[in-house]
Structure 1
Amino acid sequence: MTDIIRVLLIEDDEDDYFLTADYLSQCEDPKFQITWVTNSAHAVKAFNKKSFDICLLDYILGAENAVDVLEILKSNGISVPVVILTGQSDIQIDEMVMRAGAADYLTKSEIETPRFMRTMRYAMVRREIENERIERHKVEQQNKAKDKFLAHLGHELRTPLTSILGYTELLLDDVANDRLNQELSIIHTNGKHLLSLLNDLLDMSRIMANKLELSQKVINLSSFMTDVHSLMNLAAKDKGLKMSVVSESLIPEMIRTDPTRLRQVLINLISNAVKFTDTGHVGVSVEVTPPKYPGDIERLLFKVKDTGIGMPPDKLEDIFHPFEQIEDVMRANHGGAGLGLAISRELVSKMGGNISVESVFGKGSVFSFTIDPGDISQQHREQLNLAVPSSRTAQTLMLHVSGRVLIVDDLREIRRLTGHMVSQCHATVAYAENGVKALEAVLMAEQEGHPFHLVLMDIHMPVMSGIDALKALRKHNCNVAVVAITAASRKGLKQSLLDEGFDDVLGKPIEKTALIQVLDKYLISTPVEADNLLEVEGTSQQEFDKVDNPNTGKKVLVVEDDHDAAELVQLLLTHQGHDVIIAHSGKEALDTLSDNYFDSVLLDLTLPDYSGLDLAAEIKSLQTDVDIIIVSGREPDPKDLQKLGIQQSVLKPVSKDDLQVLFR
């Protein structure tokens, strides 16, 4: 079909109009449909009545010229490409109209030449390119608006879910409600299901915006699979299904991956297998696959097999698309948002692998996926053992060392937690809250003849950073081993810290195995003796008691504008032995902090009178040692938290288990 190009000709000379119209009418491909007006006012009316693909504009229109008309069109929001026509060529006029926004410039004598048609085509092509750019910009803005909406939606939904799940947990824990356990369990189960759907939606949003990042760690594979088995075996038993987790080959003891996301993929596949299987079994296997071509790597292959309802062959590819579900599944009333497998596919891809499915309708399915486990060429290989943890790990946890360790961190809760782990290995512990106090403590200890053997130094602290403190120590010819502690994970950070002079680097949160390796490296191993914590300068016995006793009550300020959510958190924390005060606004929180000392502040990000992050900065100025924990319906930017020295955040809804972990 021949294209029809709609042309608006703005020309006050009738003879020139007929000349142009006659030439364009003779064109076969494309065909032109011409509308003729004689001035800018009529042109604006024509543009308002119908749409045009291109405008041909005479340079002189009585009292007007092309520059005037271009300005009038622009002021009326008209963006159709305009080609200027003039009686004779003039370089100055050419430059003037092009600067004014014309698409091109032609003499009227060129109307019947090939150049005229090329100019028309090029002008429209440029317009199409500009339209595509505008459309892309619109889509980008729409995506940004969608992401903002989803973040707001997540926050708004998590707040009421906090109350629903939290109060249901409290009712379930009360023996007086035993007769209502079934009904309460239904409420709790459906609340958790709603939360999982919300998490899936937000995960998919992050994936589509390319904002989902992995956090890779070295993990023990057998222990990891044991955890997955423990989590899912009960669900299988509830449906009368047998569940097995096996290895089809010798597997590496340790792998490097994102354990949270790998667990998410496995649990999603196993949950689906249990959901769509009424009789039989669900089997999970893991094995090492050899390289497929030169330069390839060994990969881990996971399979989840079930004896469930299966899927038709023509539906197998659709299930990995977002929001897709199979009609037979919908009729079976299994529900879901159709996001789990789409998310799993993206996560597997980010972990360096692929996911696929084989299924026989009515007989069952096998989902298979691979991941990059890191360099496992030197790893000890073993059969999967779900019962016994790695003997090597068990031995390292029994480390018994002697020596004096200084823990430097501006967050008291982090100091206590790290001190607790160090003291379990029987080393003597002291604390400093910033680089200046660390420098004073180390130099004083050397003067008194009781030097520290190891310093665990956070690198981001107020007053004096860890890097500046290390440089000051070396200027004083102090050669104590200093290990950097950092929550950052950018590429090359570890090497840059080693280049600064640190002896080693530990990441936050500190993994006990990694900490034990550092203690074993820099302190002296001693025979196991009776547990005995030594009191050191600057650290009271009361401080050690708090470290050793995770049940010591703390004074907590809950800053939350939702009254129901605030009262629930207060109730949960009070049941755990803590003293809790509520503030419903930023001003109320600051007034309370000025009159009371708190160990921790649970801080909502969205308050009626304050941004949570701005309030956090003011809280820190009032009580530098207070441990701020962000509690919100949306995930805060890690960079914003790092600037404020905030180490912990938790998404709503907050459960009693979350609070036990936060205040252990």
Structure 2
Amino acid sequence: MKKHSGSFLLFLIALSVLIIIVGGLLYMANVQQALHAHSVTDILEVTDQGRHALDTYLEKDEEMLQWLAVELSEVSSDNHVELKNKMYLLDNAEGAYICVDLTSGMRYTDLLQEGRALDAESLENYKALEGDGIREPFLDERTGIWTIGYYVRFAFADGSEGLVQKTQPLEDVAERFSLSFYNDTGFSYVVNRAGDILIRSQHRNSNRTFRNLFDIVDLQGNAAGAVRSFKDALRTGKQGVAQFRYQKEDYVFCYVPMENADGWYVVSIIPNRVIMEQANGILRQSQVLFVIIAACVLILAAFFLVNRRSTRRILLAEEKARKAAESANMAKSRFLSNMSHDIRTPMNVIIGMTKLATDHAEEPAKVREYLKNISKSGNLLMGLINDILDLSKIESGKMTLNEDSVSLPELMTDLVSIVQPLVEKKDQQFEIRLHQVEHELYYFDALRLNQVLINLLSNATKFTPPCGVITVDVSERPSPKEHCAHLEFRVADTGMGMKPEFIEHLFDAFTREQDSRVNRIEGTGLGMAITKMIVDIMQGSITVESEPGRGTVFTVSLDLRLDREESDQTSPLPALHILAADDDPDTCRSIEQFLHELGIDPDVTQDSRTAVNLAIEAHERGEDYDLILLDWKMPGISGVEAATLIRQRTSREIPVVVFSGYDWATIEAAALAAGVDGFLQKPIFKSTLNRCIRQYVLYTAAPDAVHGGSADLSGRRFLLTEDNALNQEIAKELLTEMGAQVEIAENGQECVDRFQQSATGYFDLILMDVHMPVMDGYEATRQIRRLEREDAATIPIFAMTADAFAEDIQLARQAGMNSHIPKPLNIPVMLREIQRFLGPDNKKAHME
């Protein structure tokens, strides 16, 4: 009986084990299928998100074209002047625009000032385009690059048929809307009904060998029925998923039809093994679990507990995968939403104000106001575009630093000139102070450090109320790195401050604190992210301290390489009697330290009345000061008022110089009336004091050149090399207004010929565009430098281009150019560079 009982028990155990094994196999198969289906569904949803983003982008361009078609339909086809004017308004728009009169064959573009006739073949190509739509990628005859185009047919006011088209490089669209999955192992493509690949991912891991999806599946031995169903789905506008073998591996194809491009699909392709990696990990765990359960069949309770725990892990993994996909989709949608809003807002203002200015051309006051709003919106749009380009450049790892010898005093002076209008507009107090700064020349990227400090100060002015205080403290300490100095830039304000929970996300892109006080202030949310990235690239650090209602302090720490050629070449100064007054103790200590290093033992005070008394007492003793330095803003009596009192009681021969962190123009009239001899811009460096003493006391230094938006260029002759007519007009008008004579060359070859045929010294400077037909600016510069004439190697040549990254500046230098002026032109920067190479000491007059 026991034997039968034991056999029955063995049978039950064997049966239980068999049931467990079979059930386990079925369970794992179902889990594997479910995980695979869920992952494929996620990919299909992400593909649909990518399709939606591209459709939204195309819809924006279609709306722009529809608007342009309506504008052009109000014009007769024979009104060439109005047609070219309407097209010319799009000169700065993204992409290239063309209007074609399908009856006469005339074309108008946003780049040409005059309409031109199309050849017969091109005209027929445009006539073949029907209705509104999008063209498949084609090779642009003008640029020689693959291009995508959107077009709209319309009728001119006189009934003639017309067509307007916008084109942009295919690569730009591909870079913006390429999708990648699972650590760049899967990619999305845009195809047509015939399976031809129209837009492909630019990522280096994506497959760039095949040109047609059907070729992939046809040549790999896939089932004919499955291939036929896939082709039929694309031809009939269906959405779905297919699986095929390619190069001995299974791939999943997710396809979604586009709404704004008839017959186009977004197709995502990803290896099946990648999709199954996570599922296989879970299944391996389940296999181990079932082996243990089969060996321990008697403890069924443990089986249920382990199984429940395993199921929970599966659900958590699925939930984690779902949340990750949702987070990625939300990030993409948020980015596109912010981009769309922030770009459309100033664009709407520009387009609307341009229309109003055209309608009110005979009312100068209104036109000036419209142009002011256009300029403001244009600057906002340019700032946004620059931020986006910088962010993209940094994240792609393509940003490089352009390190060169930089004067810290010049950098600080430029910074003050930029920030002054912002703080004066809000009546804020602004001060830059130096602490133990021993060196003035360093090697670093001045453009990027300036960008960091301007971002911080711009935020400080935005979020600090009127009459608030903004300070910049520059400190130097020894650096652990050889031949370097450790500099700290501490930017502090008394503004609204930030909440602790927001500080954690301060350096995330498109992040702004949700606060009614902040929402009224313009901003893209990119500035701090870019600032952090630049500081990281410079191998520095940035920290922030802030409390709501108590202001914010940013500290940027950098180890900057010293310029080994910097040396104290200052000739000894005589024993001079100098008085300096400033209510800021840090500035007083800094001035006293620098004067001691120059060999002078000064009298320094923080009180303006004390300074007046010291000057009067010295005069009464017959020991007048050789120089008196007064801060403009001091409590009690100002520096200008102190100068007035000193002039009334002492000798007029004593040089009195006022220094301030504010603009000289603000106090110039009152200061000169009070008998002030000169002005120094804060912060005060040792070189600044040395130059001041030599100019106002020893008379051995020439006055500084005036920095501003104008200069006297009388007698100068420039060769402007530029192929864009509007840019020619702008640059020529600006230079001519300052007295210069300007001659124009429309391409690099013409520039070389004009220079070679001119007399030696005929031209003083060449402004060279980089991208031009016939010969570009780089090659033209190289050819000029190789000419065998005396001035070929010495004439200043400035690059004038929209290519403004560090590598572009390096290319200009390698070609032999002396300076790099980015577009759109910053007039003060251009004039400063011109004065640097053609200073007043070199002024000459040309004989006609």
TM-score by length of 1: 0.46
Structure with the bigger RCO (C-alpha within 8 Å, sep 6+) is 1
Provide the TM-score with structure 2 as the length reference. Answer: 0.37
